[in-house]
Chain A
Amino acid sequence: KAGVTQTPRYLIKTRGQQVTLSCSPISGHRSVSWYQQTPGQGLQFLFEYFSETQRNKGNFPGRFSGRQFSNSRSEMNVSTLELGDSALYLCASSPVVGSNYGYTFGSGTRLTVV
């Protein structure tokens, strides 16, 4: 079956712009989480959605937001981009809420802010 699909794979944006990233989970998976990966900070949790509700949020400013649709697809949005937002953004899905089951990750969207 198809894995977790993230689009686009690569993105270049200018400081001050906003960006929307998309994630389609594995069919039947209702939990979607987002992580930011940078060389300096490693992997950091952004948020988790289940059944269109945000269940948990990491320690990121309000410029980072997300949502989940009724078909479990998820988007995350970053407004007023800063150079430090350059990162690999990873989406992960799970059939159930919570991470004890183990997540399946997508290949990520590499965002570069110039």
Chain B
Amino acid sequence: GNSVTQMEGPVTLSEEAFLTINCTYTATGYPSLFWYVQYPGEGLQLLLKATKADDKGSNKGFEATYRKETTSFHLEKGSVQVSDSAVYFCALSGNTGNQFYFGTGTSLTVIP
């Protein structure tokens, strides 16, 4: 079946630190992979996506590379800001594309 495993949080970083949030997946077929971000009191916003192996998704300084050999899609940012504080969700779209399978979310707090 399909599933996503994310690193446990919460994560606390100082401003300008390097961020990595690990995400691995199990899937049949060739899923698309996504990172969503949720700010307090809001819904989920699409941060970036990759639809095939070796694709790199990027947005707002965040990057993630679809690694089929390690079934991973780790989120990285070189220098985090206080405004990046949020909960980050890794997700995959099943082979039939009918639904998302979400990870449990990783809470990030960036302190000045």
Chain A residues with CB under 8 Å of chain B are 4, 6, 33, 35, 42-43, 45, 48, 55-56, 58, 90, 92, 97-100, 102-108
Whether B98 contacts A99 by the Cβ 8 Å rule is yes
B residues 17-55 with Cβ under 8 Å of A?
32, 34, 36, 41-46, 49, 51
**Chain B contact residues (Cβ within 8 angstroms of A): what range?**
20 to 34
| Cβ–Cβ contact A48 & B104, under 8 A | no
* A-B pairs under 8 A by CB, number: 60
**Could you tell me the distance in whole angstroms from the C-beta of B6 to the nearest C-beta in chain A?**
10
B97 at the interface (CB under 8 A from A): yes
Q: Is the interface of A mostly helix, strand, loop or mixed?
A: strand
Shortest distance in angstroms between B31's beta carbon and chain A's nearest beta carbon? 8
Interface residues of B, Cβ cutoff 8 Å to A: 32, 34, 36, 41-46, 49, 51, 89, 93-94, 96-105
Cβ–Cβ contact A43 & B102, under 8 A:
yes
